[in-house]
């Protein structure tokens, strides 16, 4: 299939891009790396009047660290984030997750802003953002606002972004030495979207879990904290023994549904295995 007709614009600055959005509203859709959007156009899942290309806007690119916060421009491509020594030093969870985002050619074009705004339930970076307690900077012609990642996602492919708004920056608190991190995913082939995945930040007291922030992807509808699992995990000794409580808490937190080729019960099983495996292999910041 071919994309429906659309008009194409390429604003020269962020201000111009916001102006286009203010004037055109929902009729205008930002085009970043095009790695998800072009596929949805070709499949006729969306039919915007105007595509406005933000892929060359320098204001949306770059990575910097200030006062414990790693700020990443929304237009920064996955490949640059995955190879950044700043990110590796301060956010090893993100560096690890980037290895699993699609394939090299897609990481060279796809952007962090596109991934966060698209809100694919199987995407790695929305899950990491919620687990790390990130905030998103959102701009519009009327001004800006900052929203916490955990408040940004509210349903399958649904976010808090309104017509006329553009995601401009992601702010991630740098990981610290008191917390351990873990990341794992199960996919049919490396680089495919995950069947089930987990981004985890935990605090331990010896072999006991003292606090946990767990965000699953691929096996639930959007990036959110698995609060029941986290509450049950506190006080548990590692390694976790096989037990019913974990699967029951996962079923409540993830509420998965059957999808083609993967039943909800299988998703719970995968998430249970991933949880035990990830918690057993948590890494410390200084170890990287």
Closest residue by Cα to residue 131 from 82, 180, 78: 180
Contact flag: residue 220 with ligand FAD (CB under 6 A): no
- Residue of closest CB approach to ligand FAD: 110
Taking a C-beta distance cutoff of 8 angstroms, is the pair 28, 50 a contact?
yes
User: Binding residue for ligand FAD (CB under 6 A) from 27, 50, 65, 106?
Assistant: 106
Span 43-72, contacts to ligand FAD by CB under 6 A? none
User: Binding residue for ligand FAD (CB under 6 A) from 82, 114, 164, 182?
Assistant: 114
Contact flag: residue 167 with ligand FAD (CB under 6 A): yes
Contact flag: residue 11 with ligand FAD (CB under 6 A): no
User: Binding residue for ligand FAD (CB under 6 A) from 102, 196, 246, 271?
Assistant: 102
Q: Of the two residues 37 and 249, which places its CB atom closer to ligand FAD in the complex? A: 37
Contact flag: residue 33 with ligand FAD (CB under 6 A): yes
Span 225-284, contacts to ligand FAD by CB under 6 A? none
Compute the distance between CA of residue 146 and CA of residue 128 in angstroms, rounded to an integer.
18
Contact flag: residue 139 with ligand FAD (CB under 6 A): no
Contact flag: residue 96 with ligand FAD (CB under 6 A): no
Q: Of the two residues 90 and 107, which places its CB atom closer to ligand FAD in the complex? A: 107
Q: Of the two residues 13 and 237, which places its CB atom closer to ligand FAD in the complex? A: 13
Compute the distance between CA of residue 117 and CA of residue 230 in angstroms, rounded to an integer.
26
Q: How far is the CB of 249 from ligand FAD (least distance, A)?
A: 26
Residues of this chain that interact with ligand FAD (CB under 6 A) are 29-37, 39, 74, 101-102, 106, 110-111, 113-115, 117-118, 120, 123-125, 161, 166-167, 193
């Amino acid at each position: 299939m071919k994309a429906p007709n659309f008009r194409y614009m390429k604003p020269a600055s962020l201000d111009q891009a916001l102006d286009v959005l203010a004037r055109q509203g929902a009729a205008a859709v930002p085009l970043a790396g095009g790695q998800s959007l072009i596929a949805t156009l070709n499949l006729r899942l969306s039919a915007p009047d105007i595509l406005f290309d933000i892929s060359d806007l320098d204001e949306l690119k770059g990575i910097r660290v200030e006062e414990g916060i790693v700020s990443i421009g929304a237009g920064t491509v996955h490949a640059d984030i995955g190879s950044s020594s700043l990110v590796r030093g301060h956010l090893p969870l993100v560096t690890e997750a980037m290895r699993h985002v699609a394939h090299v050619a897609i990481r060279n074009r796809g952007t962090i802003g596109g991934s966060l705004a698209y809100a694919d339930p199987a995407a790695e970076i929305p899950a990491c953002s919620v687990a790390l307690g990130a905030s998103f900077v959102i701009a519009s012609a009327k001004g800006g606002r900052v929203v916490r990642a955990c408040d940004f996602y509210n349903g399958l492919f649904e976010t808090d972004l309104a017509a006329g708004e553009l995601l401009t920056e992601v702010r991630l608190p740098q990981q610290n030495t008191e917390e351990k991190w873990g990341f794992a995913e199960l996919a049919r082939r490396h680089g495919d979207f995950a069947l089930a995945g987990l981004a985890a930040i935990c605090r331990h007291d010896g072999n006991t879990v003292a606090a946990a922030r767990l965000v699953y992807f691929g096996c639930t509808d959007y990036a959110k904290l698995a609060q029941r699992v986290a509450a049950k995990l506190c006080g548990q000794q590692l390694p976790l023994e096989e037990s019913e409580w974990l699967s029951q808490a996962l079923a409540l937190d993830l509420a998965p549904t059957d999808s083609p080729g993967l039943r909800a019960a299988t998703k719970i099983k995968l998430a249970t295995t991933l949880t035990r495996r990830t918690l057993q292999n948590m890494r410390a910041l200084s170890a990287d």
